[in-house]
Amino acid sequence: MLRTLSVRAEHWPLSTPFRISRGVKTAADVVAVTLVQDGRQGRGEGVPYARYGETIDSVLAQVNALGEDLARGMSRQGLAERLGPGAARNAIDCALWDLEARLGGRAVAETLGQLPLHPLVSALTVSLDTPQAMGAAAARMTGATLIKVKVDQNDPAACLAAVRAAAPDADLIVDPNESWTLDILAALQPTLAQLKVALIEQPLPAGEDAALAGFTSCAPICADESCHVAADLPGLKDRYQVVNIKLDKSGGLTEALDLLQQARAMDFGVMVGCMVSSSMSIAPAFHVARHADFVDLDGPTWLANDYAGGAVQRGAHLTPPQGLWGVPDGAEA
């Protein structure tokens, strides 16, 4: 067995800026990995995230450091033993899954004992802005049944009220991205209940979420930055009711599937999310998202241009990428 590895940084401009409490994005900067064996190629994508100390250069270095091992046939299990969870392992792990599907002529869905992928109801995201602008953004989301609202400490109630007025029938996820305190969360409970918020995602900083132990919320609270891999679950049990699985946090589809199984066994609800990325990132995430209670895979919809055959948002539903990843050459998802 002999494989060749290629890895590069890619820059995908967004059609409009994406703002959260930590800053603003105008492009998705990703690391793309390609593994070639016997004339077939497997691809994967990782999104370096500064919140976790990652940069494009650090992820490129992590991938390149494993070049010889990958050339000699490193498995997904071997990868997990050599590299911790994060964007680099995600890109390689997903490339290995894709390569296996193309070499073996068997789609990832079939390998997992599942039917072919189908469209899923996915959240559309209203990025952080003025209440008026956020309401206008929600009003443009024709047919959306699930909307995720990015907020910070600055009058989140007004932002949420504006979105609710523009989308009276949609389920709402509120995502402060660690910007609230327990006092803010407690003070907002009547407003969150009145606006019928369905989920509160990572309200407190991950290092301070012990304060959630014993807190009674009007809506389930979801761990995002506090949950990366299955080993994190025991420490979340008395703080969160839902966990957000992202492949860039878990380090690939392999760990994400294990996290899904163990989260269900521990009675956690499951959300599947993504970074702002191309459809190459969310193609493998669909195999976890099909089992989730909440799906938030609209990352590629922010791009000015995506892969041909990429995911398409049609009203409330997101169509999985076609032929892009995890299927035999020439096949669809």
Active-site positions read 150, 246
Give the ranges where 32-75 is alpha helix by DSSP (H).
56-65, 67-71
Give the angle subtended at the CA of 39 by the CAs of 64 and 105, to the nearest 5°. Answer: 105
Amino acid identity of 169? Answer: D
SS3 149: strand
DSSP string of 180-238? Answer: --HHHHHHTHHHHHHTTEEEEE--S-GGGGGGGTT---SS-EEESTT--SGGGGGGGTT
Length of the chain: 333
Q: Are strands 4-20 and 23-37 parallel, antiparallel or unpaired?
A: antiparallel
Q: Can you name the residues that pair with 238 across neighbouring β-strands?
A: none
d(CA 169, CA 263): 29
